[in-house]
Structure 1
Amino acid sequence: MLSPVSSTAVETQSTSSEEMVPSSPSPPPPPRVYKPCFVCNDKSSGYHYGVSSCEGCKGFFRRSIQKNMVYTCHRDKNCQINKVTRNRCQYCRLQKCFEVGMSKEAVRNDRNKKKKEVKEEAVGDSYELTPELEELIQKVSKAHQETFPSLCQLGKYTTNSSADHRVQLDLGLWDKFSELATKCIIKIVEFAKRLPGFTSLSIADQITLLKAACLDILMLRICTRYTPEQDTMTFSDGLTLNRTQMHNAGFGPLTDLVFAFAGQLLPLEMDDTETGLLSAICLICGDRMDLEEPEKVDKLQEPLLEALKIYARRRRPNKPYMFPRMLMKITDLRGISTKGAERAITLKMEIPGPMPPLIQEMLENPEMFEDDVSQPPAATEPPHAADSPGGDHSPEETP
């Protein structure tokens, strides 16, 4: 019979012996399996804003709520949303997000939480540019200036063609305008290819972004060449047209809207760098339809937004509201571009021949960009030569 002492000793020995024997590691817990994305049925990455969803739908919903996006369905507001079709109709995708239970408040609460975390850092912020943002600003500014000379660099010339009264279409002015617009589109493609990171996107996404934003950037560019004293706009070869001539050159019912937008740009006093950055932000936008990798596009846009914000506030320390006002112009540009595309449809019935190929393709088919985006950027030329429609045009030449 064992005494209590010897019994304890045996227990201690037994315990000690067990501790010395290495135990086999416990198997890892099985990976957590989520239900498929409630919105598109793709593989879910977890519960986001109240429902099981994939990264794509999570990001789409967050961007839509944070940016107060308003989408339009071009069909019957009942589009099928799945992994393949989810990027085709943003309106129906957002409605599906709401239908399955995604919460607006969850997005706002998440955003407020992040704001609270960085509040202390934001106090007294001097808006210092990091070396990376400095380099980005320089590259974007250079890309803009080398593909679009500023007004002060141009030798202006005018024409008397239909300068005093509006007509449906002045064919001479239309021919000249369509020639210049074609050259401007080529320069916008070149500008895009010079933007850091743009050519790292898939060819399909490069084409999608260019097709979606080309008209926006074209309108922004011509509106920065507005001279309010004469109520004129100047093209890249120096041709300067008044409001009546712009109407007769093909702008038609769009004319007053474009001139009003140009007038609204004046108080912003944007320089070439800000115009270039705003153009880049307009182009590199993850909310465009049919993108393969919208999240990647958004990541490219983020430093551009930060660069414009800091640059604008450093340039105008006492006007912090200028940066959001600049961003609001993108919404205005999209509205003008939509009406511009509508105008192109009626214009095709007014011109005697076909629409110039590059303009036609920009408005309807993205294939025309495929060859352009796959080529390396053109060699740098002086702005006044690179963007001119032809070296043999004299100032006296009229459309």
Structure 2
Amino acid sequence: MHDEEAWRSMGSFSPDPHITASPSAVETQSTSSEEMVPSSPSPPPPPRVYKPCFVCNDKSSGYHYGVSSCEGCKGFFRRSIQKNMVYTCHRDKNCIINKVTRNRCQYCRLQKCFEVGMSKEAVRNDRNKKKKEVKEEGSPDSYELSPQLEELITKVSKAHQETFPSLCQLGKYTTNSSADHRVQLDLGLWDKFSELATKCIIKIVEFAKRLPGFTGLSIADQITLLKAACLDILMLRICTRYTPEQDTMTFSDGLTLNRTQMHNAGFGPLTDLVFAFAGQLLPLEMDDTETGLLSAICLICGDRMDLEEPEKVDKLQEPLLEALRLYARRRRPSQPYMFPRMLMKITDLRGISTKGAERAITLKMEIPGPMPPLIREMLENPEMFEDDSSQPGPHPKGSKGGGLSPPSSAYPWCLMLCNAPAGCMLPLCPILLPGQGGGRLGPAFLG
């Protein structure tokens, strides 16, 4: 870095135009500084080129812990050894590790590090050496997390992982249905997609309920946040299961669809936008913890319309932002720009969600029956679908967040969010709790 700055400063140096140098002075200068004006016409030595990373085959930054490796695998191995991490493979302990898949299975990645010759002892020696040195500003050790933030990160990461299996945990399967050409809508694919999307929404609600502080918000605010962010999180989740080599995306049951099939399943004109976003996520190399934290930040956001207590929501979001900032910086000490880049993806996700709401209007005309209720509530304002299932007449009082009762259009969310042990506090809530007869869907969704 210092060499580069020195070269830049020399290159930008401008001599005084009023001073005329004599030929002898020029000759003296050219022979006294071989770096600036080489006396020999021989070319400079070529830059040192390292073999690709032995672990993931990405571009190597040098030899670390005994082998040629990239910064990512170097840091992963160091953290794993220093913290005595114990990982689990959810498949057959033979996951393929490359620069695209390396964050999907930590167990197999660590085993690959050992197989190619990375040394535990080299990590220990390196750590002991650093203890004797003064901590430098910007080093990973300077981004210490408080016990409270460590606990928050653990809870959010666990909530994400237990409601969203990683790609290496899934047994992929494909279908030949309309795989080669785009059509307006493949009803078979739509039926399958709508079934899986409904299950994904339920998992997102489960994820939300496990976030510290979320269930402490009013039911109305929980519903407002979920309705506003559910499509954002759904898109983020599915885009992390993008496989660029095959240009496919994989759902939670393992169903893997190519770009054409995603279009025909109902994405329509939204398809290429979603795939482009998935491609933009790849360079960030987000792990499960970062994806979970970013999802939580998407959800718990005080700028959503119709919130009863936006300040309370903002206060819940603050530690999530700090946790992601410190975690991302500690994980990538030489890449301070990663945290703001991750946050920028929230803006992209909101843009996709806006397009998704527009797509819902045309999709309603293409499907033969009513839109599944949870998808309907996720995609749009209920007024778009009044002729499907909404009851005539005005919404209940307080439907815009000003009263105790959520709007009638939010009843599917209530079914999943209500945890009242002894009766619902919302006068107009339609949920019948266990022991009160139970609703048609109530007992299945009560947490």
Cα separation, partners in 2 of 1:348 and 1:317, compared to 1, 3 Å: same
Cα deviation 1:352-372 (Å, max 9, x = unaligned)? 111111111223468999999
Cα separation, partners in 2 of 1:113 and 1:288, compared to 1, 3 Å: farther
Contact 1:203/1:373 (8 A) holds in 2: no
Cα separation, partners in 2 of 1:11 and 1:89, compared to 1, 3 Å: closer
1:297 aligns to what SS in structure 2?
helix
Q: List gaps (5 residues or longer) in structure 2.
A: 1-20, 392-405, 413-434
Instruction: Give the drift of 1:93.
Output: 51
> Which of residues 206, 224, 238 is equivalent to 1:208?
224
Deviating 4+ runs (over 2 angstroms): 5-125, 361-382, 387-399
Cα separation, partners in 2 of 1:370 and 1:321, compared to 1, 3 Å: farther
Contact 1:257/1:336 (8 A) holds in 2: yes
Aligned to 1:377: 407
1:218 equivalenced with 2:248 (yes/no): no
| Alpha-carbon distance between aligned partners in 1 of 2:306 and 2:57, rounded to the nearest angstrom | 18
Cα deviation 1:257-299 (Å, max 9, x = unaligned)? 0000000000000000000000000000000011111111011
Instruction: Give the drift of 1:71.
Output: 44
Aligned length: 391
Contact 1:146/1:380 (8 A) holds in 2: no
Cα separation, partners in 2 of 1:76 and 1:246, compared to 1, 3 Å: closer
Q: List gaps (5 residues or longer) in structure 1.
A: none
| Alpha-carbon distance between aligned partners in 2 of 1:347 and 1:176, rounded to the nearest angstrom | 15
| Alpha-carbon distance between aligned partners in 1 of 2:98 and 2:174, rounded to the nearest angstrom | 55
Cα separation, partners in 2 of 1:393 and 1:357, compared to 1, 3 Å: closer
TM-score by length of 1: 0.62
Cα deviation 1:79-124 (Å, max 9, x = unaligned)? 9999999999999999999999999999999999999999999999
Contact 2:31/2:39 (8 A) holds in 1: no
Contact 1:87/1:291 (8 A) holds in 2: no
Contact 2:390/2:409 (8 A) holds in 1: no
Cα separation, partners in 2 of 1:260 and 1:111, compared to 1, 3 Å: farther
- After superposing the two structures, state which structure 1 stretch, 119-128 or 251-260, moved more: 119-128
Cα separation, partners in 2 of 1:269 and 1:106, compared to 1, 3 Å: closer
Instruction: Give the drift of 1:198.
Output: 0.3
Instruction: Give the drift of 1:235.
Output: 0.2
Contact 1:183/1:389 (8 A) holds in 2: no
Cα separation, partners in 2 of 1:371 and 1:198, compared to 1, 3 Å: farther
- After superposing the two structures, state which structure 1 stretch, 18-27 or 60-69, moved more: 18-27
Contact 2:90/2:168 (8 A) holds in 1: no
Cα separation, partners in 2 of 1:118 and 1:171, compared to 1, 3 Å: farther
Contact 2:248/2:258 (8 A) holds in 1: yes
Cα separation, partners in 2 of 1:30 and 1:323, compared to 1, 3 Å: closer
Q: Which has the higher contact order (CA 8 A, sep 6+)?
A: 1
| Alpha-carbon distance between aligned partners in 2 of 1:118 and 1:189, rounded to the nearest angstrom | 46
Contact 1:39/1:93 (8 A) holds in 2: yes
Instruction: Give the drift of 1:378.
Output: 24
Contact 1:208/1:366 (8 A) holds in 2: no
| Alpha-carbon distance between aligned partners in 1 of 2:98 and 2:255, rounded to the nearest angstrom | 50
Structure number with higher helix proportion: 1
Cα separation, partners in 2 of 1:352 and 1:46, compared to 1, 3 Å: same
Cα deviation 1:4-36 (Å, max 9, x = unaligned)? x99999999999999999999999999999999
Cα separation, partners in 2 of 1:398 and 1:26, compared to 1, 3 Å: closer
1:122 aligns to what SS in structure 2?
coil
Contact 1:207/1:370 (8 A) holds in 2: no
- After superposing the two structures, state which structure 1 stretch, 14-23 or 201-210, moved more: 14-23
| Alpha-carbon distance between aligned partners in 2 of 1:282 and 1:208, rounded to the nearest angstrom | 13
Cα deviation 1:147-168 (Å, max 9, x = unaligned)? 0001111000000000000000
Contact 2:173/2:256 (8 A) holds in 1: yes
- After superposing the two structures, state which structure 1 stretch, 247-256 or 388-397, moved more: 388-397
Cα deviation 1:301-358 (Å, max 9, x = unaligned)? 0000000001101111111100000000000000000000110110010011111111
Cα separation, partners in 2 of 1:97 and 1:124, compared to 1, 3 Å: closer
